[in-house]
Chain A
Amino acid sequence: MRYVIVFIILFINWVIWSGLLDLFHLSLGVISCLIVTFMSHDLLFKRKTFKWSDISEAFRFFAYIPWLLYQIILSNIHVAKIVLKPEMPIDPDIVPYQHKLKKDISITTFANSIILTPGTITALIVDDKFYVHCLDKKVAEDLLTGEMEQRVAKVFGEDK
Chain B
Amino acid sequence: MSILEIISIILILGGLFFFFTATVGLIRMPDYYCRMQATGKGDTLGAVLCLSGLALYNLDSGLSFANIIVSIKIMFIAIFIFIANPTATHAISKAGIDCEVKPWTKKKEVQS
Contact = CB atoms under 8 A, between A and B. Distances in A.
Contacts of B97: 123-124, 131
B41 A76 contact: yes
Given A115-B86, A115-B89, A123 B41 contact: no
A56 B95 CA distance: 37
B21 A121 contact: no
A76 B18 contact: yes
Contacts, number: 101
B33 A116 contact: no
B104 A84 contact: no
Interface string A43-80: 00000000000000000000000000000110110011
A124 B17 CA distance: 30
Contacts of A119: 37
Contacts of B21: 76, 79-80, 83-84
Given A17-B73, A72-B41, A112 B18 contact: no
A133 B41 contact: no
A19 B86 CA distance: 30
A76 B38 CA distance: 8
Contacts of B104: 92
- Which of the listed residues A82, A83, A125, A131 has the most CB atoms from chain B within 10 Å of its own CB? A83
Given A76-B21, A121-B93, A123-B96, A133 B103 contact: yes
Interface of B: 17-18, 21-22, 24-25, 28-31, 33-34, 36-38, 40-42, 44-45, 65-66, 69-70, 72-73, 76, 83, 86-87, 89-90, 93-94, 96-97, 103-106
Interface of A: 16-17, 19, 72-73, 75-76, 79-80, 82-84, 88, 90-94, 111-112, 115-116, 119, 121-125, 131, 133, 135
